[in-house]
A = this chain, B = another copy of it.
Amino acid sequence: MHKVTFLPAERNVEVEDGKSVIAAARKAGIHINASCGGSGLCGKCRIILETGELAGGRSEKLSDEDFDKGIRQACLAAVTSDVTIRIPTESQLAKGGLTTEVPVRNQARLHIFHVESLKSEGVFIPPVEKIVMALPAPSATDNMADAGRIIQGLNNQYDERRIIVTLQTLRKIRSALRERDFLVTVTLARPVNERGKAMVVDIQPGNWSHRNYGIAIDIGTTTIYGNLLDLLSGKVLACKGEYNGQISYGEDVISRIVYAEKPEGLDQMHDLMMNTINSIIRHLLQKAAVERDEISSITLSGNTTMTHFLLGLEPHNIRRSPYVPVSTFFPPVRATDLDLDLAPHAVALVYPSISSYVGGDIIAGVMGAGIYRSETLTLYVDIGTNAEIVIGNREWLVCAACSAGPAFEGGGITHGMRAAEGAIEDFGINPVTCEPMNITMGNKAPVGICGSGLLILVATLFEYEIIDSGGKFNRNIDTPRIREGRSGYEYVLAWKEEAGGDEDIVINEVDIENFTRAKAAIYAGIKTLIEVVGLQVTDIEQIILAGAFGSYIDIDSAVTVGLLPEVDPSKILYIGNGSLLGSWMSELSNHIRRDVVEVVRKMTSFELSEVNDFKDQYVASLFLPHTDMSLFPSVNQRLAAIRKNMRRT
């Protein structure tokens, strides 16, 4: 960590080695004009290095003379020591002499899951194990069958009992045993059910016990994510996200179901999904340098509709009252039975669901976040195309789902995108000039806005009264950045020449309306569910947020726009993609696979549409932050503080 001092504000901040100066400034609450997201293209983010060392910080936009004076481009300069940096007038917030507070980020950083905790709890037991055995060669006095020899070895050397050898393995066993003189590695798949049998699903000649891999997949309606896991260390070796190939058949589950009801429609939906998943698997294998046949286990989680498409189940009644899915529990199957492009021995586990609208993704989140094992009364919110809400602890669990729409995943937003390189994930604005400070993932030229960026963007526009509580732009601001576009008024985040694409990156009023609807549905869902179980917001001891936002979520922004109720920010944890985390945990711990049945049985599901209050709550939430400002007292204070000294010319 290095200390960065910004002048003239004299504000200090600690940042990790290698962090960009612009990110450090954002963290310190210092505004620096920066449109190009850190790609060096706009050349606006000039700062002066007064003491210490910075790495890089220079593009062709900077002359030798300026460089020698200590001038650097903040977006290209990496902090490599304690430094003092002066923000020159033209880069400062307060052009024209104004000093305005920039809010310091109150970030719920991605809570990184530690394998060590599983290990210390003694539950790091992956569902498949590679067991190496040196077995005696057969002789006239010991001419037991090859399979019997394997089972005897597992009995004697590893005290493994109750074992089945699969047909696939039987077909390889003779050659495998004799290729390396009866030294073999067997792949043992442990039963999910304690009364079940362990299965020898594969056999390899020689010792391969050092290579054991699994895959975790989250099937989102919009995006599918995968992790390739080293089942020995528990580490993620590669991760990959791709848009769900079904997306051109409709953005929400209902339109997908409608399509699936056509002749061949279900097969088509299944195939499109499998194409995406198989493409992700190919990428993961390549990235991690793992062979296809080395994957012995895969866990998949998704909402109930996605799970139906995955398994080839007819989803018709999911969209028809009384909303009956085909099944909520699914037997372990061969990966190839799902058309997954994996070896025939690979076992696939699909997360169970609760109901048509509380799916395996949310159960996976509950398992991954460990709510069901904790005494802390937790509100769990998974923000995606459908938002799911769980409240409870290890004693009880209730859940509900609400349709948020795809705004947080970049859907229905003109330049929306998922959290990937070039996505604007943080944002600041000069309230006078309206010049942006775009911080992008990977310091690339901006190509769009991801969910976490959108949240901050809307909150910031609202904080500085660039939009009003109805989401409409202030028509009186004189800046080329605010203009009338094809979908009403819009704000230009990056001009075409600064951007990673071939057009200006904007956010318009329709985008903001879509965002507002999404956040309103989620807030209304949270509030309704809390009240349904007779609690109040203040009873919640912890909020766990999930969703594919990127590396963090800004809590103040979430509260400012009225997405989350006002709670102590320290109570809020962000776990990223909860569904993926759950699948990942299931790949590392058979205990979690077993516990899931209990969790599903324990959870009570509420149909929000049947709770009278919900509709009213939703309508009241269609403002920033809410029609009832008394619910957001600290937002009132915050807005007042920001706006106090702000005068726009």
Name A's B-contacting residues (CB within 8 A): 138-140, 142-148, 164-167, 170-171, 173-175, 195, 311-314, 316-317, 321-331, 333, 337, 355-356, 610
State whether A328 touches B170 (Cβ < 8 A): no
Docked complex Cα distance between A323 and B140 (Å): 8
Report the minimum CB–CB distance from A355 to chain B (whole Å): 7
State whether A170 touches B326 (Cβ < 8 A): yes
Residue of B321, B326, B331 touching A174 (CB-CB under 8 A): B326
Docked complex Cα distance between A167 and B324 (Å): 17
- A sample of 18 cross-chain residue pairs with beta-carbon separation below 8 angstroms, ordered by A number, consists of A138-B322, A138-B324, A140-B322, A143-B322, A143-B323, A145-B324, A145-B327, A146-B324, A148-B328, A164-B331, A167-B312, A167-B330, A167-B333, A167-B337, A170-B327, A170-B330, A173-B313, A174-B316
State whether A327 touches B144 (Cβ < 8 A): no
- Nearest residue (CB) in B for A610 is B140
State whether A147 touches B326 (Cβ < 8 A): yes
A328 contacts across to B, CB distance below 8 A: 145, 147-148
State whether A331 touches B165 (Cβ < 8 A): yes
State whether B173 touches A143 (Cβ < 8 A): no
A167 contacts across to B, CB distance below 8 A: 311-312, 330-331, 333, 337
A175 contacts across to B, CB distance below 8 A: 314
Interface of A is mostly: loop
Identical subunits present: 2
Docked complex Cα distance between A167 and B355 (Å): 18
Docked complex Cα distance between A327 and B164 (Å): 11
Docked complex Cα distance between A412 and B590 (Å): 58
A330 contacts across to B, CB distance below 8 A: 167, 170
Docked complex Cα distance between A224 and B171 (Å): 23
Docked complex Cα distance between A195 and B331 (Å): 17
A171 contacts across to B, CB distance below 8 A: 311-314
- Nearest residue (CB) in B for A172 is B314
Known: A330-B167, A331-B164. A144 touches B324 (CB 8 A): yes
**A-B interface, 6 closest residue pairs, ranked by CB to CB distance from nearest:** A147-B327, A143-B322, A174-B314, A145-B328, A138-B324, A140-B322
Report the minimum CB–CB distance from A347 to chain B (whole Å): 13
Known: A166-B331, A331-B166, A333-B167. A317 touches B174 (CB 8 A): yes
A144 contacts across to B, CB distance below 8 A: 324
- Nearest residue (CB) in B for A322 is B143
Docked complex Cα distance between A247 and B501 (Å): 70
A143 contacts across to B, CB distance below 8 A: 322-324, 355-356
- Nearest residue (CB) in B for A329 is B147
State whether B325 touches A145 (Cβ < 8 A): yes
- Nearest residue (CB) in B for A353 is B145
Docked complex Cα distance between A108 and B172 (Å): 45
A139 contacts across to B, CB distance below 8 A: 322
Docked complex Cα distance between A167 and B329 (Å): 10
- Nearest residue (CB) in B for A328 is B145
Docked complex Cα distance between A222 and B383 (Å): 66
State whether B326 touches A145 (Cβ < 8 A): yes
A174 contacts across to B, CB distance below 8 A: 313-314, 316-317, 326
A312 contacts across to B, CB distance below 8 A: 167, 171
Docked complex Cα distance between A140 and B356 (Å): 13
- Nearest residue (CB) in B for A266 is B171
